[in-house]
Amino acid sequence: MKARAPFCIRHAAADTFAMVVFCFVSGMIIEIFISGMTFEQSLASRTLSIPVNIAIAWPYGIFRDFVLRQGRRVSDTGLVKNISDLVAYVLFQSPVYAAILFVVGASTDQIITAVTSNAVVSCGMGVLYGYFLDMCRKWFKVPGYYQQA
For 77-134, how does the pLDDT look when each residue is reduced to its tens digit (9 = 90+)? 999 999 998 899 888 988 888 988 888 888 999 999 988 887 887 777 888 889 999 9
3-state DSSP call for residue 141? coil
3-state DSSP call for residue 20? helix
For 33-71, how does the pLDDT look when each residue is reduced to its tens digit (9 = 90+)? 988 889 999 999 899 889 988 999 999 999 999 999 999
Confidence at residue 42, expressed as pLDDT on a 0 to 100 scale = 92
Cα–Cα distance for residue pair 133/33, rounded to 1 Å: 25
Confidence at residue 148, expressed as pLDDT on a 0 to 100 scale = 52
The pLDDT confidence band at residue 149, using thresholds 50, 70 and 90, is very low
Confidence at residue 143, expressed as pLDDT on a 0 to 100 scale = 83
Cα–Cα distance for residue pair 124/63, rounded to 1 Å: 19
Cα–Cα distance for residue pair 98/1, rounded to 1 Å: 31
Confidence at residue 109, expressed as pLDDT on a 0 to 100 scale = 92
Query: Is the pLDDT at 7 greater than 70, yes or no?
Result: no
